[in-house]
Structure 1
C-alpha cells in the first residue's frame, strides 16, 4: 500500500449487530427511550381516530324524517331524470277563481277628513286584503248605487262579506237586508253562496233574523283584545274553526288573540230566548267585555254557509291604527285560517260569470287612500262617490 494512506479496518457485521443489541439491552436510558416511541405514536393517532368516528356516528344519526321525493324509495318510481310526475287534475266541482262582493259602508272611514261628500261610502282595505290573502278577488258592492246594478254585481260573485261600521238604519240597513235575503235565496236555489258578517255585520244580521231592531245590548268592548270561549260539546267540523290546529284552538281560550271593537252585542241568554235566532244560528263562541259581561262572539247558521263574527278577524294582519290589535304569530294565524275557510266555501260556488264583466267591476279599478294619519283605526280605505 502506498505511503500516506491508512488502511480501513474491516468490520464483522454480525458481531456489530450483536454488540448493538446487547448494548441497548444493557443500557437503562436506551430502553426507556425506545419504549416511548410507540406510546407517542399512539397519542398522535388516537385523537384523529376519535374525531373520525364521531363524524361517522353523527352522519349515521337521522336529522329529520322529512325526505325529498327524490330521496324516497318507491318501487313504482322510475328514473327521476327521465320521468316527471304529472300534476293531478283539478276538482271540476270547485271554482279556483272565486270573487267576493264586499258591501261598502256610508262615509269615508275617517269622519269626513278624507271625503265629506254626502254620497260617499268606503271599504276598509283590510277586508280586501283579508279576502285576497286566501286566494280570491273583490268586487265592491256600493250600498247606494241603483238596486239593479247591485243585483247585477251579485251575479258576478261567489260570496259576500258585510264589514264593521256604525250605520244601523236608513238606506244602508235596507240594502244590507236586501243582500242578505238574496244570499239565502241563492242557497235555497241550490247554489253554495257563503256570507261572512263582521262586527256591525253581525249586529245587523242579528236584528234581521230576530225581526227585532231593539234586540242588541250595550257592552264595553271598544279597542279590546280578548279570548274566545267555545260552547260546551261544540262540534267544529264544518265551521270556521275546523282547520285550526289543536294548539291554536286551545290558545284561543287562554290568550287574547282576537280583536273586539264594538259597543253593542247580544248576550247568550237573549240570543237563546229568541226562537228565530236560535233556530237559524248556533252559538260557537262567547267572549267577555271589560266588565266581564258575556256576549255572543261567533255564530254559524244551521242550514246556510253563513258565519257571523262580533270580533274582527281581518285586523290582526292588516290594521295598525288601534293599540289593542293582536299582532303575534298566533294572532296572524287566526286571521289566515278564518280567511282560508271563507274562500274555501266560495270555491264551492259554481257561478261562472263572463270574465269581461268581472274585470270591469273588480276593486282593482279603484285606488286605496292612506288614512293612517287622519282616520280612526283604518290604515287604508277605498272611497266611492
Structure 2
C-alpha cells in the first residue's frame, strides 16, 4: 500500500529547480503519477471539511442547550413507585356518560319528499352531531308518541334540546310545553336538568313563559349570517359564553359568525315589557335582520339551566345546504363552545338510569337519511314514522324496540 494514502503531509517534490526552469512544455501526468498524487489531494479536501463540520455540530449543540431545555419523561419528574397515582380520581359529582333528549319535529324535514306519512317526524342529524361533538349521546323524544312513553324517556336523559322548525300549534306545541314544565319541576326538586332551545325552540319558550301565543313579531332573517351584540354591562360568568376566548367574544360582535334562519322573533322592548319573560330570562345578546330591525338573539334563565338561541349554533359545523352558513375556523369554534357548555351542564345531572334501557332507546337504533342533494334545507335527517295501529303504543319485551322504551 502506498504510504501517501496514510500520510497527513504532501510528499517532498524531487524535481530540480533547473529542470523546472528549462522545462517549458505542458503535459498531462501519466497514470502512475496521477494515482500517487490523488490520495494526497483527497487529504487536502477532506481534512478541512471534517474540521468545519465538527465546528458546526459543536455550535449547534451549544445553541440547543441554551434555547431548548432538556425534555424529561413524566417518570423523571415524579415518584415512579408503583403506588404513585397515574390519573386523578373522577369527580363523583359529575356524570361522565350524559344523554340528551332531542324532541322530534312534525314532517320529514324535506316537505314530504322523503316520507309523507301523516305521523312522520324528524330530527336533523346536525343536532345529533352537535351534541355528540361535546361528548354526549342522544335519545329521540318522538313528539307524537304516547305521553307515558315520552315521559319514560325523560327519565333516561340528562338534558333536553328543542330544535328549529315551524310548528307553533297543535300537538307539537302541547308536547313541548309539557316537557318544559316537567323539566322546570325537576329542577325545582333539586335535580339539575339543562335545556337548550334553538330558533323555533326559542320562540316556543317565549310563548310558553310569556303566556302569550301572539307575542312574536315578524322579521326578515332567513339564510342570514349575522353578528351578536352583547348587552351593556352583562356578566358572562355562568353563561354559555363564559368559556369563549376574549378574542372570539370580540369577533362575535364584529364578524358574521352565527347563522340566522327565521321569520319570527321578539324585540328587546317587547321582551322587557313582559314581566314573565323579563323575570325568567336575562337577555345576553341582540341581533339585527336584513332590514336592520333588532331582535333578541340569546337569553339565559336567571334561576334555571335554560338557554335559548334565536340563531343556529349547530349549523356552522354540520350543515351545508344554505349559502350563508358561516364555515370559518372562528365559526366552527362558536359551534364547539356552545355544544361544550350544554354538555357540561348535562354532566351535572346525577340521573343514571340502567345502561340497557339507555342503549335500547339511543338514536343509534335508527339510520339517518341523506337529503342534501336538493341543495337546500338539511343534509341528513332521522325520520320517525311507524304504522298507525293500536299495538304500537307499547313495545314488546323482546326484540328490537326501534328506539322505544321497553315497558
Report the TM range for the smaller structure's normalisation: 0.7 to 0.9
Structure 1's 370 and 206: CA in aligned 2 closer, same or farther, altered over 3 A? Answer: same
Q: Distance in 1 between matches of 2:91 and 2:188?
A: 24
Give the root-mean-square deviation of aligned CA atoms: 2.2
**1:1-385 aligned within 5 A:** 48=53, 51-52=56-57, 54-62=59-67, 69-70=73-74, 74=77, 77-79=78-80, 85-374=85-374, 376-385=376-385
The answer to whether the 8 Å contact 1:103/1:160 transfers is: yes
Per-residue CA deviations over 1:154-203 (Å, capped at 9, x if unaligned) read: 11111000000001111111110111101100100100000000000000
Query: Are the aligned partners of 1:227 and 1:258 in contact in 2 as well (CA < 8 Å)?
Result: yes
Please say if residues 109 and 376 of structure 1, whose CA atoms lie closer than 8 Å, have aligned partners that are also in contact: no
Count of residues in correspondence between the two structures = 341
User: Structure 2 CA distance, aligned partners of 1:87 and 1:164?
Assistant: 41
CA deviations on 1:17-47 (whole Å, 9 max, x unpaired) are xxxxxxxxxxxxxxxxxxxxxxx9x997995
Q: Quick check: 2:322–2:375 contact (8 Å CA) kept in 1?
A: no
Question: CA 1:61 to 1:322, structure 2 compared with 1: closer, same or farther past 3 Å?
Answer: farther
Q: Is the 8 A contact 1:134 1:340 kept in 2?
A: yes
Consecutive unaligned residues of structure 2, counting only runs of 5 or more, are: 1-44, 386-407
Per the alignment, do residues 54 and 83 of structure 1 end up closer, same or farther by CA in structure 2, a change over 3 Å counting?
farther
How far off is 1:51 after superposition? 2.9
What CA distance in whole angstroms lies between the structure 1 residues aligned with 2:222 and 2:69? 47
Question: Are the structure 2 counterparts of residues 58 and 312 from structure 1 closer, same or farther at C-alpha, using a change threshold of 3 Å?
Answer: same
Look up the SS of the partner of 1:102 in the other structure.
strand
Deviation of 1:329 (Å):
1.0
Pair 355,70 (structure 1): closer, same or farther in 2 beyond 3 Å: closer
SS of corresponding position for 2:372: coil
Deviations 1:75-117 (A, max 9, x none): xx2348x776421111111111111100000000000000011
Is residue 186–residue 192 contact of structure 2 (8 Å, CA) maintained in 1?
yes
Distance 2:292 2:280 in 1: 27
| Structure 1 portions without partners, runs of 5+ | 1-39
Cα distance in 1, alignment partners of residues 57 and 186 from structure 2? 71
Distance 1:198 1:160 in 2: 11
SS at match of 2:67: coil
How much has 1:210 moved relative to structure 2? 0.6
Query: Aligned partners of 1:336 and 1:256: how far apart in 2?
Result: 16
Deviation of 1:153 (Å): 0.7
Larger Rg: 1
Question: How many angstroms apart in 2 are the aligned matches of 1:368 and 1:63?
Answer: 51
How far the C-alpha of 1:376 sits from its partner, in A, is: 3.7
Structure 2: distance between partners of 1:68 and 1:363: 45
**SS of residue matched to 2:373:** coil
Distance (Å, rounded) in 2 between the aligned partners of 1:244 and 1:235: 13
Q: Distance in 2 between matches of 1:204 and 1:68?
A: 56
8 A Cα contact 1:110 1:374, kept in partner: no
For 2:374 and 2:141, the matched residues in 1 are separated by: 25
User: Structure 1 49/358 Cα, relative in aligned 2: closer, same or farther at 3 Å?
Assistant: closer
CA distance in 2, matches of 1:262, 1:245: 28
Post-superposition offset of 1:251:
1.0
Q: 2: distance between equivalents of 1:133 and 1:223?
A: 24
Partner Cα separation in structure 2 for residue 170 and residue 44 of structure 1: 88
Contact 1:110 1:376 in 2 (8 A): no
TM-score scaled by length of structure 1: 0.84
1:325 partner SS: coil
TM-score by length of 2: 0.79
Work out whether residues 113 and 375 of structure 1, in 8 Å CA contact, stay in contact via their aligned partners in 2.
Answer: no
